[in-house]
Amino acid sequence: MKFDKLIPRLISSTQEVGKMIMFHYKTNLDVKTKIDETPITIVDQKAHQLITNTLLEITPKTPILSEESERIDYTIRSNWREYWLIDPLDGTRDFIEETGEFCICIAYIKDHRPIFGFIYAPLSQIYYFTNDQFQAVKVQNNKTTVLESRIRQHPLEVVIGHHSSNNQHLQSHLQTLGDVRINRLGSALKFCKIAEGVFDYYPRFGPCSEWDTAAGECILEAAGGYVVGVDNKPLQYNTKESLNSPIFFASGKA
């Protein structure tokens, strides 16, 4: 699969989806709660439909797994060697709380690993993605920049979510890191900011799903960083019935 030829179509598609998202931003939306107790709005569902329609057009034979998909049993998914993994609106809570820190996440998985990542932030209109040379790229105002994560700084610039403060495992972990500065940011944009060299480290102990991590992990790894689990190995995708992600640690260059 060559992704460079797909990128212009993904940019134009997500730009339209982003316009729809921003049209509904800061409006009174009906917020429902899913079985996993995460919020969902009509915006999530509309974004899902628009993105899946585009992916079905450009790669009609490739399966698609979205946060908003109907449940796909593992007996079916286990036969997938390649598939698209998407979060149509990553950071729904941030969208509802009007932090502006939400994005569209699209990843391509092959043999349980992400080989292409694409993230679009509708508010800032910034794109992050990987190319066929496995570089991490940022596009803003028609300017393209190849990203490279930085070697860890002192104090360590740690980025966590807005709702992570009460996680005792995270708090205990932070106390082992020495001199740190805590920054808060929503959605998979945390991976992108480490890839840019803005932050150094993102530990995740709270609930998270595979569509939340795949695109960001791929972009960060292409920028020279890494994402590993407690076993110090890269994350694996679609290997079990549950789509919950394990505890993981995302970092720029060691």
Q: What's the whole-number mean pLDDT along residues 207-220?
A: 97
Task: Enumerate the CATH 3.40.190.80 domain ranges in the chain, comma separated.
Answer: 156-251
What's the CATH code, domain 7-147? Answer: 3.30.540.10
Q: What's the whole-number mean pLDDT along residues 155-171?
A: 92
Architecture of domain 156-251: 3-Layer(aba) Sandwich (3.40)
For 44-97, the pLDDT digits (tens) are 999 999 999 999 999 999 999 999 998 999 999 999 999 999 999 999 999 999
Task: Enumerate the CATH 3.30.540.10 domain ranges in the chain, comma separated.
Answer: 7-147
Of the candidate ranges 36-40, 81-85, 242-246, the one whose mean pLDDT is the lowest: 36-40
Q: What's the whole-number mean pLDDT along residues 105-125?
A: 98
Distance (Å, whole) CA 82 – CA 76: 13
Distance (Å, whole) CA 4 – CA 52: 19
Q: What's the whole-number mean pLDDT along residues 90-119?
A: 97
Is a pLDDT exceeding 80 seen at residue 21?
yes
Is a pLDDT exceeding 90 seen at residue 234?
yes
Distance (Å, whole) CA 202 – CA 186: 12
What Rg, from alpha-carbon coordinates, does the chain have? 17
Confidence (pLDDT) at 229: 98
CB 142 within 8 A of CB 37: no
User: For the chain, what percent of residues have pLDDT higher than 70?
Assistant: 100
